[in-house]
Structure 1
């Protein structure tokens, strides 16, 4: 059990996070919250602000016409019901449209709309800039190293699930 301080801490620097100090998961979760808030501020007023998965879905549908929701769900680690709700929302905002697959009448295919394609252009400009600005305190070479590590972790997790 950690030693209790004689008086309550008054600044974040006065606090030891116990076992969390040594866990990647704690830092990844908290950085995710902070970067998501910053991204939402950057994208305020756009149909992809607030929530997760919309940007990835928009870009994948734009890049891969006819992509199936199950593929996007797998890549974004979402379950079917969450993916269904996200797609409903994006269809309602006229960003994507659904069609029944000509190969399998039980499957849906997703296609970008004109409004979705225009938004994808904006997103491809805003998101990289937001990421660069948010992480500007980390030197470029360290960002690249961290990106390589996280990309490998992501690919491994996606491939094994």
Structure 2
């Protein structure tokens, strides 16, 4: 069996305020270390931009909800250590990684040029090709609680799915890719 349990995975999920997908309105982070969940973090984020009706309806997060929440640059000081430790992981990771990149770029925050990441959708398609890999479908399949489109719940559910893949003996690390931030 591949020793995936030796790695640290920083599983995250973002919610966005509008279709531009260049700002966050919430972020959930779930850290896996030693083959189990060892830490969790959640925050609303003031995106300093408008909210589309669709996004507010989907996530329940509105301009009113984020009054008093930290902006991304304020929050980055807190989440950067999480994001810098371990392999970044998300469900449909290209979306979440893209939002992270746009936030960093939009606020002129320099980070690292690249980061290793995993996508649980891609792992699922490779390991379980004959089923849908939508987050809610995977959670139903594995009996994982989900409050869909809530960043804390989505990141935890994604972490639980990753742990199911690891426990089943799938070589999830063969799915590691590199994301370019510059």
| Higher RCO structure, 1 or 2 (CA under 8 Å, sep 6+) | 2
Q: Determine which structure has the larger helix proportion and give its number.
A: 1
TM-score (norm 1): 0.28
Which structure has the greater CA radius of gyration?
1
Q: Determine which structure has the larger strand proportion and give its number.
A: 2
